[in-house]
């Protein structure tokens, strides 16, 4: 459980206790006159309101704490990236449709890694998505892969690797457009308990295809 989840749980418990206090002192106030009960009841009501504001503030901070996906936190390397261009063998139009070789160092706390290849110059087209426990993927190792086939000119093809705390099925359809890597990051970052923080870190590598 993340720090944000713990804080929100404590706030929820406090809201529950304040609610019980509000009901108790309201009943006491209705049973007979008493300024103490009136102030206590109002105090509990005010505490509930403030705690709800605090819960909302923590949620906003929690959801905004994810850096943009283009801020790489660990290095990805590929033997199929030559300078700034991908090897033709990974392409769909002129190559063998082989997913690129990828390597990265293990990330502490990660149980698996979600891997994506996206073409931001072509409607954020998804060319690869997979979930793996490996930190070295040989050329052609990924089945859910469609190589680059830009309609014209050279396009950029980004590979992202997300280190996840718990396994989560990679969202979005293969060989289809998407809303972009930020949306994918947000989906992957939500754990099974709906808490934010499933993505520990991510890395990326990019190249162009074809050679200009």
Q: What is the pLDDT of residue 5?
A: 67
Which one of 7-11, 14-18, 115-119, 189-193 scores highest in mean pLDDT?
Answer: 115-119
pTM of the model: 0.69
- How far is it, in rounded angstroms, from Cα 131 to Cα 79? 20
Contact 168, 113 (CB under 8 A): no
Cβ neighbors of 115 (< 8 A, separation 6 or more) are 102, 128, 129, 130, 131, 132, 137, 142, 159, 160, 161, 162, 170
Write out pLDDT tens, residues 157-185: 999 999 999 998 888 889 999 988 888 88
- How far is it, in rounded angstroms, from Cα 165 to Cα 114? 11
Q: What is the pLDDT of residue 79?
A: 97
Mean pLDDT calculated for residue range 4-22: 85
For 111, 132, 141, 160, the CA distances from 165, given in Å and listed in that order, are 6, 13, 23, 16
Q: For residue 147, which of 109, 188, 175 has the smallest C-alpha distance? A: 175
Phi, psi of 187 (to 5 degrees): -65, -45
Angle between helices 3-31 and 35-63 (to 10 degrees): 160
Element (H, E) at 45: helix 35-63
Kindly tell me the sign of the dihedral angle through the C-alpha atoms of 193, 114, 156, 151: negative
Q: How confident is the model at residue 39 (pLDDT cuts 50, 70, 90)?
A: confident
Cβ neighbors of 199 (< 8 A, separation 6 or more) are 66, 162, 163, 164, 165, 185, 188, 189
């Amino acid at each position: 459980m993340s720090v944000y989840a713990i804080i929100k749980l404590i706030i929820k418990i406090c809201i529950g206790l304040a609610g019980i206090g509000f009901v108790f002192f309201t009943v006491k106030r209705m049973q007979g006159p008493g300024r103490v009960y009136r102030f206590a009841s109002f105090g509990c009501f005010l505490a509930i309101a403030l705690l709800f504001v605090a819960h909302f503030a923590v949620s906003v901070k929690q959801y905004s704490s994810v850096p943009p996906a283009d801020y790489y936190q660990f290095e990805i390397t590929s033997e199929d990236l030559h300078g700034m261009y991908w090897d033709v063998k990974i392409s769909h139009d002129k190559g063998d449709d082989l997913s690129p070789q990828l390597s990265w160092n293990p990330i502490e706390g990660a149980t698996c890694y979600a891997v994506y290849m996206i073409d931001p110059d072509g409607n954020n087209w998804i060319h690869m998505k997979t979930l793996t426990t490996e930190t070295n993927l040989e050329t052609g190792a990924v089945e859910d892969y469609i190589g680059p086939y830009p309609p014209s000119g050279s396009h950029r093809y980004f590979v992202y690797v997300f280190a996840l705390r718990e396994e989560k099925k990679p969202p979005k359809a293969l060989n289809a457009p998407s809303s972009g890597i930020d949306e994918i990051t947000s989906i992957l970052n939500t754990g099974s308990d709906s808490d934010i923080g499933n993505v520990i870190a991510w890395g990326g590598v990019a190249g162009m295809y074809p050679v200009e």
